[in-house]
Structure 1
Amino acid sequence: MSAQSAASDKTDPPKSSRTMIWLRSRLSNIAPFITLLFLVVFFSIASPSFATLDNVGNILNQISITAIMAVGLTYVILCAEIDLSVASVANATGIVVAYFTLQDSYANIANVPLPGYAAILLALLTCFLLGGVNAFGVTRIGIPSFIMTLAMLQIGAGICAMLVRGQIAYAVPPFIATLGQKALGPIPYVVIVAATFLLVGHLVLQYTRFGRYVYMVGGNREAAEYSGVNVRLVIASVMIISAACSGVAGMVGVAYFGSAQQNEFDSYLLDAISAVVVGGTSLFGGRGGIGNTIVGLLVLGVLNNGLDHINIDSFLKILIRGLILLAALVINIYAQRLRANQMN
């Protein structure tokens, strides 16, 4: 045996070791996918009505609103920030679009309903404005995103309360009603909207300079600054993107539910964060993406739908979802430590 081959044998780790290193480095991606497969198999065995084409459509329908919100939240978490205001912004935007298309005199400022397109534009302006306030507070004033978006959560709730005052609004512009209630053949428009947001979000992250900047800011903010990246602008942008996605989800969701009322989207905050984290996007930023979010959405969708099919107690269902989220957080932290150890 030559000296070169002997040296190579000493330096190259065994194939089994390389496999283990590879698995550990991708733990946060592999674990959610295995979880999804396990849930699908388990519920397919437990309930004959689960593994049907109609039920697949139901699952996609049920996760669509969450998916739209989760796209923007993925960008925020990739930058190692958080947005706790997504559900509140969605609720406020949905109420604004319904508020200004109602016929009742209490529901519009000038006692004259706005045209549908004007109500939509006003609602979009609202969510962009709320996102802009978040961005300004985080990047210019220096408020931590956790605190800033927590305050925005309350501001959004206040806007909702001020507009509807405990009442329920029902009317929405025809275009929004179409997106939330109708279908293109067998596929509901709400699923198409969610798929479009996920696709565009993925393409932007993977194939644009802005997407690379998002990963750079989340991976190493100081290095990104030294590389000439405008970190403040990137963080401000993802906060506004998150608010815009939430606003669209709020408008489509109002049509999907058939009404706009206070606290309608409150549960979607945990759902959206869970989808991103359960899918494997790192809470420390820089790792993950829309593909991970899709897996996380499917895990939550299959879990919620499957538990309904086996008629489990609703309170136990909440507990199980919490345990799944906790497990995802543990895997997220553990995967981060493994990567840190491999780098050292």
Structure 2
Amino acid sequence: MAEVMRGAGGRGVTPLAWVRARLRNIAPFVTLIFLVVFFALASPSFVSVANFWNILTQISVTGIIAVGLTFVILCAEIDLSVAAIANAIGIIAAFFTLQDASVNIANIALPGWAAIVIALAAAVGLGLVNAIGITRVGIPSFIMTLAMLQIGAGICAMLVRGQIAYAVPDLALTLGSKSLGPVPWIVIVLAITLAVAHVVLTYTRFGRYVYMVGGNREAAEYSGVNVKLIISAVMVISAVCAGLAGMLGVAYFGSAQQNEFDTYLLDSISAVVVGGTSLFGGQGGIGNTIIGLFVLGVLNNGLDHVNIDSFLKILIRGLILLAALVINVYAQRMKATAIAAEG
């Protein structure tokens, strides 16, 4: 007879049932371990302190965007505009520090701190537009943020007009491209962002409301939660995180240009979903996002070490994302079946 564990209410739970109940969290961790072991055996250069910092640096911009998306997805919403907002805010920060009239059509040059304030204010504004469209007008988040994606692209085109801006505020330059000893500042910013988000989601009333809205929106409303306010707040958080990532990314890459962060939309969503946060809302969190970031970071970095064809690399990433989606949906079905059985 199979050994029995104790579940909620003291009822017996078999090991298989215990694993199924935690499949969403276990699968990403097992995937990460497998990838680390595989690439360590396939390429000795993969296992080094320098490469570890390299992986952390590579996932930093994606990670900051993914933090904001974690809030959104926990509410059972989606934000497809994060990459466009990152592009727009990075360009806005550079735009107001430029002095070359051939690029800066307004010929405006401000102190670095003022450019950063304006850029962050713009991020809040774009997030509010998303929030109003979703909660007041009633546009589904998928469609609203798809429209914002185009708006962000339009802002980028209007400001740089196909050219490349190289000026970056000094603070953004330091945080995006320099180091504190051996530790890149951008990694420190990522760690702080992850830590603050984890504390907010885990230990604050707002965090509990986020989970309630994602888990059962109707029940949250009956409990007195202002669902529209929570959804609005997570859309603004997502836009601000994207804007911060955009400014640091511009400093990291050394320039601001159109479409610079387009690939980060899929990467950031993948990090959240691959890590195990439920697409249906209410389950997951920053811990899952961290695992997802490392899965993607190790995968991308490891494939470079073993010289895999770049086109095959894209295919492998797509297959891993598909597997994560299947596990996500399967885990949700098992949860619904378990709830129905208990009822």
- 1:30 pairs with one of 23, 26, 29: 26
**Structure 1 residue 103: Cα displacement:** 1.4
1:117-164 CA distance string (max 9 Å, x none): 111111111111110000000000000000000000000000001111
Identity of aligned residues (%): 73
SS in 2 for 1:218: helix
Asked if 1 retains the 8 angstrom alpha-carbon contact of 2:59 and 2:293, the reply is yes
2:213 aligned with 1:191, yes or no? Answer: no
- 1:47 pairs with one of 17, 34, 43: 43
- The match for 2:226 is 230
1:4-44 CA distance string (max 9 Å, x none): xxxxxxx9866xx4322221111000000000000000000
1:49-108 CA distance string (max 9 Å, x none): 001111111000000000000000000000000000000000000000011111101444
Asked if 1 retains the 8 angstrom alpha-carbon contact of 2:103 and 2:163, the reply is no
- The match for 1:246 is 242
Show the 5 A alignment for 1:163-312: 163-312=159-308
Cα separation, partners in 2 of 1:215 and 1:109, compared to 1, 3 Å: same
Asked if 1 retains the 8 angstrom alpha-carbon contact of 2:177 and 2:252, the reply is yes
Show the 5 A alignment for 1:106-121: 106-108=102-104, 110-121=106-117
Asked if 2 retains the 8 angstrom alpha-carbon contact of 1:100 and 1:107, the reply is no
2:111 aligned with 1:140, yes or no? Answer: no
2:157 aligned with 1:155, yes or no? Answer: no
Tell me the distance in 2 between the aligned counterparts of 1:95 and 1:140: 29
Asked if 1 retains the 8 angstrom alpha-carbon contact of 2:32 and 2:294, the reply is yes
SS in 2 for 1:49: helix
Tell me the distance in 2 between the aligned counterparts of 1:339 and 1:110: 56
- 1:80 pairs with one of 73, 76, 81: 76
2:127 aligned with 1:131, yes or no? Answer: yes
Asked if 2 retains the 8 angstrom alpha-carbon contact of 1:94 and 1:260, the reply is yes
Mark the structure with the bigger radius of gyration: 1
Residue identity in the other structure for 1:282: S
Structure 1 unaligned residues grouped into runs of 5+: 1-10
Tell me the distance in 2 between the aligned counterparts of 1:70 and 1:316: 25
Tell me the distance in 2 between the aligned counterparts of 1:168 and 1:335: 45
Q: For this pair of structures, how many residues does the alignment match?
A: 332
Asked if 2 retains the 8 angstrom alpha-carbon contact of 1:172 and 1:255, the reply is yes
Residue identity in the other structure for 1:202: H
Tell me the distance in 2 between the aligned counterparts of 1:110 and 1:40: 50
Residue identity in the other structure for 1:114: L
- The match for 1:6 is none
- The match for 1:104 is 100
Tell me the distance in 2 between the aligned counterparts of 1:338 and 1:110: 57
SS in 1 for 2:46: coil
Tell me the distance in 1 between the aligned counterparts of 2:90 and 2:234: 21
Give RMSD over aligned pairs: 1.2
**Structure 1 residue 111: Cα displacement:** 2.1
Residue identity in the other structure for 1:232: K
2:300 aligned with 1:331, yes or no? Answer: no
Asked if 1 retains the 8 angstrom alpha-carbon contact of 2:279 and 2:328, the reply is yes
- 1:318 pairs with one of 290, 314, 329: 314
Residue identity in the other structure for 1:308: D
TM-score where L is the length of structure 1: 0.95
Asked if 2 retains the 8 angstrom alpha-carbon contact of 1:86 and 1:246, the reply is yes
Residue identity in the other structure for 2:289: T
